[in-house]
Amino acid sequence: MGEWYAPMNSWLRPSTALYRVLPPFTALLGACATLGKLSFKEPDVQLERIDITGLSLGGGTLDLVFDVYNPNTFRIRSTRMEVDLDLEETHFGTALLERPLDLSPENHSRVIVPTRFEWAGMGAGARALLTKRAVGYGLVGKVILDTPLGDETVALKGAGNVPLRKLVR
């Protein structure tokens, strides 16, 4: 008695086209699943202190020192940061930072934003810089971030008291 082979139905035969398409399709599904889990959370930005870095007859310079926490599971970069600063309820100046910042995932970063100011019209804010150890501040601004999910603009707004680090102690 000879061996008998049942013919394979055409729908059971492996297709080479299917084997060529299946791996890239599976990889695409995996990438979509990963992107689906990503969601952007705004960084927490807190003004930590103000460092007075220079004084002159016409004005001076100071550094706004921020603590920035990136709660995301991915790295983000800033492309621009603009902040309007009020001291003792008087507009003191506008800080602009255009160099890129690299914010590590789920980590704190210290960000220093240099600011120039003029004494004219400063009043209470200028007196506070020269005489107090802490100063009342208000700030409004924005940070433009480059994320894996696209550009995001984060609004900055804060008020409170912040310590001053004097130029000369």
**CB 119: neighbour CB atoms within 10 A?**
15
- What are the residue ranges of helices labelled H in the chain? 16-37, 124-131
Q: For residue 110, give both structure tokens.
A: 């210290």
**Per-residue pLDDT of the chain in tens (169 residues, 90 and over written 9):** 556 555 555 544 555 555 555 566 555 555 554 555 578 899 999 999 999 899 888 888 999 999 999 999 999 999 899 999 998 888 888 899 998 889 999 999 999 999 988 887 777 777 777 788 888 999 999 999 988 888 999 999 999 999 988 765 4
Residue 87: in which H helix or E strand, if any? strand 76-87
| 59 CB-contact burial (10 Å; exposed 0-12 / middle 13-18 / buried 19+) | middle
